Amino acid sequence: MSTQTKALIALAIVWFAAMAGMHVFWFEDMTGGLRAPDSRPWGYSAADFEAWQAALSADGRAAFLRWHSGFADFVFPWLLMAALFFAMRETLGRFPRFAHLPRWTQVAVPLALVAPYGLFDVLENGLVADMLTGAVPVSDVSVGLASAYTLLKWSFVALALGAFLVFRLAAARNARKS
Q: What gap in Å lies between CA 138 and CA 28, rounded to an integer? A: 20
With beta carbons less than 8 A apart as the criterion, state whether 53 and 132 touch.
Answer: yes
Q: What is the mean pLDDT of residues 53-72?
A: 92
pLDDT at 12: 97
How far from 61 is each of 7, 47, 52, 53, 66, CA to CA, in Å?
33, 17, 10, 7, 8
Lowest mean pLDDT among 24-28, 113-117, 132-136: 24-28
Band of pLDDT at residue 176, cut at 50, 70 and 90: confident
Residue 1 has pLDDT above 80, yes or no: yes
With beta carbons less than 8 A apart as the criterion, state whether 80 and 154 touch.
Answer: no
With beta carbons less than 8 A apart as the criterion, state whether 124 and 153 touch.
Answer: yes
- Ramachandran category for residue 147: left, alpha or beta (phi over 0 → left; psi -120 to 50 → alpha): alpha
How far from 19 is each of 14, 38, 53, 96, CA to CA, in Å?
9, 11, 19, 38
3-state secondary structure of 22: helix
Q: What is the mean pLDDT of residues 15-28?
A: 93
Band of pLDDT at residue 83, cut at 50, 70 and 90: very high
The reported pTM is 0.91
pLDDT at 177: 78
pLDDT at 75: 95
Q: What is the mean pLDDT of residues 143-152?
A: 98
pLDDT digits (tens, 9 = 90+) for 89-132: 999 999 988 989 999 999 999 999 999 999 999 999 999 999 99
pLDDT at 88: 96
**Local structure of residue 26 (DSSP, 8 states):** I
Residue 3 has pLDDT above 90, yes or no: yes
Residue 142 has pLDDT above 90, yes or no: yes
How far from 135 is each of 26, 145, 161, CA to CA, in Å?
25, 15, 34
Residue 178 has pLDDT above 80, yes or no: no
Q: What are the residue ranges spanned by the domains of the chain?
A: 3-177
- 120: nearest Cα among 84, 148, 161, 90: 148
pLDDT at 99: 87
